[in-house]
Structure 1
Amino acid sequence: MNKPIIALDFPSKTEVERFLAHFDEPLYLKVGMELYFQEGPDLVRYIKSLGHSVFLDLKLHDIPNTVESAMRGLAKLGVDLVNVHAAGGLEMMKAAKRGLAESDTKLIAVTQLTSTSEEQMHSDQLIPVSLEGSVLHYANLAKQAGLDGVVCSVLEAKAIGAACGEEFLRVTPGIRPADVSADDQKRVATPEQARQNGSTHIVVGRAITKSEKPAQSYQYIKEEWSDAE
């Protein structure tokens, strides 16, 4: 069973160091835009030097040539997982894959953000199909482009596994225990629900990073994720 991915939603390296001091085991950590744009690649190198796995969550979305070049640079950091927006299209995703060709970094695509509701998708993106239909379309497009998987909500994970194969990664944010607030997420689930619904990886942020006892909260979520049947 894959480790829960902890979202390092911190503004600086200082907070990251303070948080990691609570742990004495290798972790899987997500570095997103907030942290990366403040600290840059040196922060990623620092985390990797500690023996942790890294999901670099930058959600690239640009013309194919630009994304390919950016991925070629990110590959040098030795991150374990990186992503693009599936909305960038088939050719952009193929270009991103080419940029990682000489690395072991896995590439996934964001389908629809877990903060997006079906109503928002219809009104803001003018996509007339159902939310699940949009997510499945993007997942199939990512599969066609040769990507390793997608970011989706738990609600779509099982359908994506059926459509794209069980080896196709379904990385699901919006994970938190039942007694923790959903905050700005719309499509959320518990670790147990994620396992039962076909997630291959779960991403957990504030339920751990804002906890008074982060290591204890992590172990609780890890056990629920591992033991769910």
Structure 2
Amino acid sequence: MKSPGPIIVALDFDSRRAAEAVVDRLGGECRFYKVGELLTAAGPDLVRHLVAQGHEVFLDLKLFEIPNSVSGAVRAAGSLGASMVTVHSMGGTGIMAAAVAAARDFPRLRVLALTVVTSMTGTDLADIGVADPAGEQVLRLAGLARKAGCHGVIASPQETAQLRGLLGPDSLIVTPGVTLPGESGADHARPGTPRAAVVAGASHIVVGRSVTRAADPAAALRLVRTDAGL
């Protein structure tokens, strides 16, 4: 099978039927999908189904619990065949290290630390007692993730260049909040284009509505790939 490539399509739907309809329409154009809140509607069988079809799955769980619970959830993600799983870096090194340890039984599973959600601004951080701007908080949390042994981080395109400098060439940097030029950032307060994310050093870019709500999802994905220079 050829490499799934660096573009991940977010299946942000409220039903399995809607998600599978987009997967069918994309066909061979996409090999990598993100499953997040859809898991609560479709259940784990959807992940098994995607993996059985030859797709890679980024299971975006944003785990934020005691280390033992995080370990169990990571093992469950590995058993489903997921390629990536997210843990919340604001939980500290203890839960991140527990996630990394649990993933060792699944050689293909990568643990990614969510830094600052792309919808958050400095004002949002101040509300929870974080005085620093979003960019500084992202770098601080990424440093903790590196110490905990995480395989990479989740951050917006706007922090990617600094993160690449901090984390080096081998870490994964996965960027949600990616939209085509001229499109609204929607819920993302720190968006960027595919090209901007890739040039800054993103290893993977996550696209959602730009593709999944397009009249022709496959054509929209090709536009994303072209803009990214891939």
Q: Which of 97, 103, 110 is residue 106 of structure 1 equivalent to?
A: 110
Please give the per-residue CA displacement for 1:124-143, whole angstroms capped at 9, x wherever unaligned: 22111222111011001000
Structure 2 counterparts to residues 48-127 of structure 1, below 5 A: 48-103=51-106, 104-122=108-126, 124-127=127-130
Task: State the partner residue of 2:228.
Answer: 225
Q: How many residues align?
A: 225
Stretch moving more, 70-79 or 88-97: 70-79
Gaps of 5+ in 2: none
SS at match of 1:22: helix
Instruction: Answer whether contact 2:113 2:153 (CA < 8 A) is retained.
Output: yes
Q: Aligned-residue CA RMSD in angstroms?
A: 1.3
Distance 1:91 1:21 in 2: 40
Identity %: 36
SS at match of 2:87: strand
Q: Which of 20, 23, 28 is residue 20 of structure 1 equivalent to?
A: 23
Distance 1:20 1:133 in 2: 37
- Does 1:141 find its partner at 2:141? no
Instruction: Answer whether contact 2:7 2:205 (CA < 8 A) is retained.
Output: yes
Structure 1 residue 212: Cα displacement: 0.4
TM-score normalised per structure 2: 0.94
Please give the per-residue CA displacement for 1:87-140, whole angstroms capped at 9, x wherever unaligned: 011011000111111102001010000100112111x22111222111011001
Distance 1:23 1:203 in 2: 15
Distance 2:172 2:134 in 1: 19
Instruction: Answer whether contact 1:175 1:203 (CA < 8 A) is retained.
Output: yes
Stretch moving more, 23-32 or 60-69: 23-32
TM-score normalised per structure 1: 0.95
Q: Which of 180, 197, 203 is residue 194 of structure 1 equivalent to?
A: 197
SS at match of 1:92: helix
- Does 1:177 find its partner at 2:180? yes
Structure 1 residue 12: Cα displacement: 1.2
AA partner of residue 28 (structure 1): F
Task: State the partner residue of 1:6.
Answer: 9
Structure 1 residue 3: Cα displacement: 2.8
AA partner of residue 115 (structure 2): T
4+ residue stretches of structure 1 with deviation over 6 A?
none
Distance 2:149 2:46 in 1: 29
